[in-house]
Structure 1
Amino acid sequence: MQVNSLSAEINEAEIVRYYENCQVDYELLWKLDRIMCMHYGYWDESTTSLSHALLNMNKQLAEFGSLKKGQRVLDAGCGVGGSSFFIAKTYGSQTEGITLSDKQVEACKSNALKQGLQDSCNFSKQNYLSTEFPDNSFDVVWGMESVCYAWDKKDFLKEAYRVLKPGGTLVVADFFSNPLSPNSKEAELMKKWTDTWAIKAYAGIEEFWEKMEDTGFVQRQRKDVTPSVVKSIKRLYYMFFPGLVSTYLLQLLGLRNKTQTANTWSTYYQYKAYQKNLWRYYFFTATKPI
C-alpha cells in the first residue's frame, strides 16, 4: 500500500505538470480560450464545427444523466470551467469545480468573472479522491474525461458516493479500455498513449461497470458513444504530422519541453489504438440509493 500511495502522489504531480505545460496546446488547437472545454467533443448530424461539438458534448452528457434545474453539481476535474459554466447557464445550478492545478483554478475564476457566473460557479484546488465536502452534499457528481486520472477508479467512485445526496446521480464521460493481454503489443501501445497524458491506465469497460455496483450505486446505465468522437480522433491524428516537426524544432530552440512533445505524440497513439479497437468512449451514469 505504501508503494501504491507513493506512486499515486508522483502521478498527481505528473498530472499537474501535464496540464500546466500543455494548456498552450489546448489554446492553440482546441479553442480553449473561447469554448473552455478540454474534451473530445460530440459530433452528430447537428454539429458543423469543433466548437459546436465541444459544447454539444456537455449537452449530450447532461441529457444522458438527466440533469434537472437547480441541482448542486460537483464538477470533478473541472479543467478551465467549461462544463461548470454550461451546467450553471443551462440548469440554473450551483456548481463546485475542483482540480489539482493552481493554474486551472485561476483560469476558472477568471473565466467565471468573464461569464458573469462568479456567484453560481465556485472553484478550488482539491483532489476528487478525497474532498473537503461533507457527506450528502451534491445532487450530481460530474466527471468529464477526468475519472481516467484516478490511480484506482474505485477510489473516485467511493468519494463520489460519499458526497452525493441519497438519490443523487453520478455522470461520467471518458475513455475505457477493451480487454488487453498483459505485456502484449496492444498493451504497450495503450501504455505509450496513457504515459503521454500522465494517466496510469484506463479502466476496463466491464471493470468500471462492476465497480459502480460494488460501491453501492444502482440504476446503472452506460452508452458507447465512440462513433460520436471519431471526428475528433481523426482530427487530432491529422495534427500529429505537422505538429511533430514544429514541436521538435521548438524544443531544440528551448521553446517547448518534453511534456509538450509527448502531448504531440498522444495524437498519434490515440488514433493507432482506436484503429486496433483497443478502447471505446463511454457515458456512464448511476444513482445513490435513497
Structure 2
Amino acid sequence: MAVKDILLPYFDLLLAQLEQGNAKLELAFGRHVHWGYWPQAPQGVVSPEDFSQAAENLTREVYDAAGIENGQRILDVGCGFGGTIASLNENFSGVELIGLNIDTRQLVRAQEKIKACSGNLICFTKGNACWLPFPDQSFDVVLAVECIFHFPQRRQFFEEAFRILKPGGRLALSDFVPRAFLLPLTALSMKWPFSRGFFGRCNLQCTLAQYKSLAENTGFKPRVEKDITKNTLPTYSFLRAMGEELKIKDPSAKFETWIVEWASRLRLLRYLVLSFERIK
C-alpha cells in the first residue's frame, strides 16, 4: 500500500519553529507531541519544563500499561519525534525499538536526535498504521500514544496489530474517548472545515464499549483501562499560552482545542489509557 503524507498543520508549525530555534517549543514539544499527565494539579503557571515532564509522564502511563520488559521487540506507531522510543531507550535494555510514522519529516528529526544505548537497537521507518510493513507475530508490544484518531480505520489498525503481535503480545494506546451521546458532535470533527483544520482529520468516534467490542472481535482481551482525563487538564492552559505567544491565527486551533477542553471538563470526552492482550 503506498504511503502518503497527511495534512497536519500543527506539525508544520512545530517543525518550522523548531528549525528557527524556538527554545520554548524545543523544550515543550521537541521530544513528545501530545498532552501531558500531572499526578497532582500543578501550582501556578505551567512552564515549558513542567509540560515536558508531564508529556514524558503520559508516555510512561501508556507503555507501563503494556507491561514492557527488557529484551522485547516493540513497535511505536505514530512515533512523532521519537519521544516514546527515546524514553524506552533510556529505561530498558536489550530492546529492539521501531518507530513508524507516515510523515518523513518527523522521522528525520527522530533519527537525528535519538541514539541507541544499553544494548538496544533503534530503527525508524515510514509506513501506514493500517498496513504495517512487518511479518506476522514479530513483535511483543505495539504502542500508539495519542495518534489513533488520525488513522483511517481503528478496526484495520487493530487487525494489523493483532497480526504482527506474538501470542500473548500487548497493544497499548491512549485516546480521547467520547460518551455515546456525544457521537453526533464528534462526527463533525471528520467533516469539512474541521477535517482541514489545525489538527487535521481527527476521528473521535470510538466509545469505550466500541473499543471493547473491537478488541473482542479482533482477538484481544482487555488488560488495562485507566481514565486520566483529570490529570491531562493542565495541558489546555499551556496550549493557550503557547498559542498566544506564537500568534497562531488559524481560528480552528482555538476552537477545536476549546471544544475538546470543555467536553473533557464536563466528562463528555474522556482521555483513556487502554491496553489489550492478544489471546493465544
Question: What is the TM-score with the length of structure 2 in the denominator?
Answer: 0.81
1:37 CA drift (Å): 0.5
Map 1:180-259 to 2 at 5 A: 180=181, 188=188, 195-202=197-204, 203-240=206-243, 242=244, 246-248=247-249
Contact 2:77–2:101 (8 Å) recurs in 1: yes
Q: Distance in 2 between matches of 1:89 and 1:65?
A: 17
In structure 1, the residue matched to 2:279 is 289
Q: Distance in 1 between matches of 2:17 and 2:187?
A: 27
Letter in 2 for 1:42: Y
Q: Distance in 2 between matches of 1:96 and 1:179?
A: 35
Q: 217-226 or 153-162, which moves further after superposition?
A: 217-226
Q: 115-124 or 143-152, which moves further after superposition?
A: 115-124
Contact 1:47–1:53 (8 Å) recurs in 2: no
Secondary structure at 1:14 match in 2: coil
Map 1:102-181 to 2 at 5 A: 102-113=104-115, 120-180=121-181
1:103 CA drift (Å): 0.4
1:105 CA drift (Å): 1.2
Q: Distance in 2 between matches of 1:117 and 1:47?
A: 33
Secondary structure at 1:180 match in 2: helix
Q: Which of 271, 274, 278 matches 2:264?
A: 274
Q: Distance in 2 between matches of 1:110 and 1:230?
A: 32
Equivalent pairs, count: 267
**Identity value in percent:** 24
Gaps of 5+ in 2: 44-49
Question: What is the TM-score with the length of structure 1 in the denominator?
Answer: 0.79
Change (3 A) 1:129 1:282: same
Secondary structure at 1:79 match in 2: coil
Q: Which of 24, 37, 46 matches 1:42?
A: 37
Letter in 2 for 1:201: N
Q: Distance in 2 between matches of 1:46 and 1:272?
A: 17
Name whichever structure is richer in helix by fraction: 1
Contact 2:175–2:272 (8 Å) recurs in 1: yes
Secondary structure at 1:60 match in 2: helix
Gaps of 5+ in 1: 249-257
In structure 2, the residue matched to 1:51 is 52
Contact 1:37–1:80 (8 Å) recurs in 2: yes
In structure 1, the residue matched to 2:12 is 20
Q: 167-176 or 17-26, which moves further after superposition?
A: 17-26
Q: Which of 79, 97, 101 matches 1:95?
A: 97
Q: Distance in 2 between matches of 1:60 and 1:144?
A: 10
Q: Distance in 2 between matches of 1:86 and 1:270?
A: 27
C-alpha distance after superposition, 1:151-174 (max 9, x if no partner): 221111011101101110101112
